[in-house]
């Protein structure tokens, strides 16, 4: 099971945050990556500066034969197409695609860490993943997703909102 988290908190010249999520899914599918599950859309304050625009995030489960490094290259290309600029860490962005888990693989290199090193600390990752993979176990911590969510602070568990709009899988 390959799990991704996709987020946006800036508009592009073509659309808003919701458009960016939908366009990201469309571009992922064009890379011969099959999306098998997609969560509801969740909104959270920007991290670490809550004064920045709020994020929309979704969790997705995908299937493909690409290596993790090739996936990251494809994701960087997609982010660039959606006008993401890299600069200051945690700055607002039009598109952010994170590889959360790659078939339970553990990898820790300069270029890539799997599972995502902060996935277990982020409400915008855990809640969408729980929705699409309720029995997921963190490969390094060997803890179930319910346990990880319970370990979040009260604030983090309560500042996340599921919104009404959806991103549809149209294979």
* Domains observed in the chain: 2-162 (3.30.70.560)
Quote the CA–CA distance of 167 and 41 in Å, as a whole number: 8
Q: What angle do CA 131, 51, 46 make, to 5 degrees?
A: 25
Q: What pLDDT digit, counting tens, does each position of 39-62 carry?
A: 999 999 997 788 999 999 999 999
Quote the CA–CA distance of 6 and 58 in Å, as a whole number: 5
Q: Which residue has the tokens 């919104």?
A: 163
Task: Give the predicted TM-score (pTM) of the model.
Answer: 0.93
Quote the CA–CA distance of 9 and 92 in Å, as a whole number: 6
Nearest CA to 151 out of 114, 128, 123 is that of 123
| Greater model confidence, 18 or 47 | 18
């Amino acid at each position: 099971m390959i799990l991704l988290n996709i987020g946006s908190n800036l508009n592009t010249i073509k659309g808003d945050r919701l458009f960016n999520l939908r366009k990201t899914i469309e571009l992922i599918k064009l890379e011969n990556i099959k999306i098998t599950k997609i969560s509801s859309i969740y909104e959270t304050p920007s991290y670490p500066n809550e004064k920045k625009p709020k994020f929309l995030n979704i969790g997705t489960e995908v299937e493909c034969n690409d290596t993790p490094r090739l996936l990251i290259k494809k994701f960087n290309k997609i982010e660039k197409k959606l006008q993401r600029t890299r600069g200051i860490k945690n700055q607002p962005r039009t598109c952010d695609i994170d590889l959360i888990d790659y078939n339970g693989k553990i990898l820790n290199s300069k270029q890539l860490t799997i599972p995502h090193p902060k996935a277990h600390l982020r409400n915008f990752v855990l809640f969408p993943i729980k929705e699409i993979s309720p029995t997921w176990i963190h490969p390094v911590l060997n803890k179930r997703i319910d346990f990880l969510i319970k370990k979040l602070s009260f604030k983090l568990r309560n500042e996340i909102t599921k919104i009404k709009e959806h991103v549809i899988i149209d294979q």
